[in-house]
Amino acid sequence: MRNLNDSNMKIGIDRRSFLGTIGASAAAALAGVLSISAVAEPSVQAHISGRRKLGSLEVSTVGLGVQNMSRKYETTVPYRPEMIDILRAAYDHGVTFFDTAEAYGPLECERILGEGIAPFRNKVVITSKFGWNIDPDTGRFQMGLNSKPDHIKRAVEGMLKRLRTDRIDLLYQHRVDPQVPIEDVAGAVKDLMAEGKVLHWGLCEMGPNTLRRAHAALPVTAVQNEYSMLWRGPEEVVIPICQELGIGFVPWSPLGVQFLTGAIDESTRFAPGDIRSAEPRFSPENLKHNLQLVKLVKLWAERKQAAPVQIALAWLLAQKPWIVPIPGTTQMAHMIENIAGSSVTFSQDELHELNASVSSIQIQGKRLPDGVLALSGVEAAPKS
């Protein structure tokens, strides 16, 4: 049997699968991305290679998304001790950047992360997110968004308890509340910073004008948006703004909700409740066309002697030196496989070739259901 703690372990992927369910609200639909199963033979270093900066915040080159460690999309509950083991093994393999949110669980993933990192809390960077109308005490979704200053402060108090810490290194607004001026949000975060409870802040899936206003009110450390070979929308406006303002960029769903693992073919059909069954890009009529991208990733995996997921992550890392992906998983082998993507590199000629090939494939179909997509790119209310 292979030792999962061997930093030179050869790992890869033959098959992955994942089932999902959409909750009653858009918030539930966004509550996580799941990775499942794997075994192949690419040879790359299974330890984080290098470190990066999000603004002034230094983190590992690849982070770990803690989204599905309390409940998977198919409603099964992962074995909690295994999730703790994965978190601690990630740290042993060089991960110092752990991402979660009050919406994941809700609340429970913060508890799992807090327990998992307790032995080395002061040596890692943790994030969480506010913005949904969630009761901070019970975790009950009350539908909609809530970024009122008093709610933000109450939410953070709950996060600190669940995460077993006295500060949150990076606090994001999960989605923009169109009813609350972003300047008021920044003011609440600034108060929390003055109390030492928050060190840095960021935004997720915001409108570009809101990002500029937020940064003017209180310097933004990082933006978190969906970004991968499958969805390259941020390249148009958001990433250029980040570059202009010196803001780091954290891609969520860096593996394209597992599309880039190489497990899906044109005969794949998603089970009822699987979130991908509601995403137009995975409809039968679009899937066949979009699989051109998977074929490309597999070709490069063979060429670089790496797993497809490692090519997908290495491609993101090659785009900008201040991009830090946060793939999530509930499987030990996948965690190790993912972080090994940081050791895959491209020459300038290789990157130019790969970028040109990726650009030549026009993905068909929207990335999310309309109800969820409507929460992205939102601009905050003007400050009166």
Distance CA 337, CA 259 (A): 16
The reply to whether omega before 106 is within 30° of 0 (cis) is: yes
Strands 97-99 and 64-65: parallel
Q: Tell me how far apart the 2 most distant CA atoms of the chain are, in Å.
A: 64
80-88 long-range contacts (CB < 8 A, ≥24 apart) are: 80/112, 82/330, 82/332, 83/112, 83/116, 83/330, 84/112, 84/115, 84/116, 85/332, 86/116, 86/329, 86/330, 86/331, 86/332, 86/335, 87/112, 87/113, 87/116, 87/117, 88/116, 88/117, 88/119
Backbone angles phi, psi at 129, to 5 degrees: -140, 145
Burial of 352 (0-12, 13-18, 19+ CB in 10 A): exposed
Give the pair of three-digit tokens for residue 60: 């590992």
The DSSP 8-state label assigned to residue 160 in this structure reads H
Give alpha helix (H) positions in 182-236. 182-194, 208-217
Query: Does residue 104 carry a catalytic annotation?
Result: yes
> Which of 241, 256, 221, 234 lies closest to 97 in space, CA to CA?
221
297-304 long-range contacts (CB < 8 A, ≥24 apart) are: 297/229, 297/260, 297/262, 298/262, 300/354, 301/12, 301/42, 301/262, 304/42, 304/344, 304/346
Distance CA 336, CA 17 (A): 18
Spot the catalytic one: 73, 104, 172, 227.
Answer: 104
Active-site amino acid positions:
104
